[in-house]
Structure 1
């Protein structure tokens, strides 16, 4: 009996990539191997409903052609169900896809789905809201909030917004309790990493692994502006953790209290989580279709 899968397409994600993904699905998806349907999202968080519907109908996998936000909606819904997540990258960053070695080329991404091999990874929870890739508070969350108001997307737009915000952004003090250790830290931001990168090979946590049972905290401490630019360069060289202004540590559970009630981000999408955020690892909770997986 053919495994049943659902394919979800976000029509907003990078329109050129999305159109190409649709063509590659139509041309190269193995129809002899799968029973499938293809549906498009029509409104915010529609992918959550479509994914839950697929789980209820007994699908073996849900495939998302979209960016990190859409992947979050599908993956968060699938975590703990045993139903696999498949990804055809069609966003501007594609952080989780790159970390897992999923091809950026749409045809190869569809061929990866055809191979139907799996890897089980950890997910994170922030106030019981799931993330697969990177969560954070502070500067990167502020950039995420501003970025999602823009019509134009892409790395260049993100960089320009970041520079503008950096000149006016006010650091805050965070109270942290992580695996029993308690301390305060004044910082530009705290990234909470399950995988190694934001997207576009921006490696915020180069040593992070998606299946090691821990999350990686990356604290951006106060620093001169010149070192901020240097660390932006290091971000793309995989050497950010070598900066003396960066503090990193691993943890399983954390209570993070913000000085201000600022927005957070989960996998690049802004979320209002409140001043107190409970973060924890959800180990080995999500099956993903990957090139180096197992049957």
Structure 2
């Protein structure tokens, strides 16, 4: 078995903060006696190919140096390969991104020295993973944090313009987008329930945080074998501005405009001609009809004790 850690560095993560901090991170890894092989990503989703090649070479220990998008690619690289030794594979993260949402659920520090110490301690948790199947092309996409369709996908499509604002990028994108977004009629099927409504957005959560620290799903537990879904049919700009604290402390999920449920699978049909974006972990992954199912405790992540 390969003893080395494969370190996957996204040099453009966090407005290229990853590239600037990498020499310090590398020195700390060596100081902490890590045996590492390092690969820099060169294009979007390059980490998918890197991971698949590395697993075939015997690597089972991965360190992600980047943001939520880089971690998303690593997860997709593992699960799309579906290796027979998946139970031996584990992922640690040194978070340098815009939102850094996934780490917030587990209280992983953004301080690279503390993050490296967590990886060295080696405590793991087996987390549920979401599996999206997009009907149009039968494409499969996995997510480890949160997915959605509608307004949040629309915002993700806009957010790149505001990346320099850091965690406020998502909130800024949402406020700017709210007046221009046109709601689509969705048919949402889950737990023997069918909902057909003009819908602002549907959120499908595993972990607690998204959009730069917002808590938009209720009672999230990434190991309970269930998605926490929020359906919002309509919301106005004054509702958002009047509930800013609720977006970040989770109280927004108690608002009368937010409907919350738990389910292990669901199907979504878009009943309009409006192009409706799907996002997974803050990455645009497609549009139109799709289904989602849960893979219980599918991947081991290194988290604090």
TM-score, length basis structure 1: 0.91
Paired residue for 2:304, among 286, 291, 294?
A: 291
Paired residue for 2:130, among 116, 121, 124?
A: 124
Paired residue for 1:197, among 195, 200, 209?
A: 209
1:35-46 correspondence runs (5 A):
35-46=35-46
Q: Measured at CA, do residues 189 and 199 of structure 1 come closer, stay the same or move farther in structure 2, by a change above 3 Å?
A: closer
Tell me how far apart the structure 1 counterparts of residues 38 and 269 of structure 2 sit (CA, whole Å): 42
Determine the structure 2 residue equivalent to 1:92.
98
How many residues in Structure 1 have an aligned counterpart in Structure 2? 291
For the aligned residues, what is the CA RMSD? 2.1
1:74-85 correspondence runs (5 A):
74-79=74-79, 81-82=86-87, 83-85=89-91
Determine the structure 2 residue equivalent to 1:162.
174
Is structure 2 residue 115 aligned with structure 1 residue 109?
yes
Determine the structure 2 residue equivalent to 1:12.
12
Paired residue for 2:227, among 200, 203, 215?
A: 215
Tell me how far apart the structure 2 counterparts of residues 134 and 7 of structure 1 sit (CA, whole Å): 24
The alpha carbon displacement at 1:7 in A equals 0.1
The alpha carbon displacement at 1:43 in A equals 1.2
The alpha carbon displacement at 1:149 in A equals 5.5
Give unpaired runs (5+ residues) of structure 1: none
The alpha carbon displacement at 1:216 in A equals 1.1
Tell me how far apart the structure 2 counterparts of residues 132 and 288 of structure 1 sit (CA, whole Å): 10
Is structure 2 residue 200 aligned with structure 1 residue 188?
yes
Tell me how far apart the structure 2 counterparts of residues 97 and 210 of structure 1 sit (CA, whole Å): 12
Determine the structure 1 residue equivalent to 2:278.
264
Tell me how far apart the structure 2 counterparts of residues 199 and 108 of structure 1 sit (CA, whole Å): 24
Structure number with higher helix proportion: 2
The alpha carbon displacement at 1:30 in A equals 5.2
Give unpaired runs (5+ residues) of structure 2: 134-139
Which segment is superposed worse, 14-23 or 158-167? Answer: 14-23
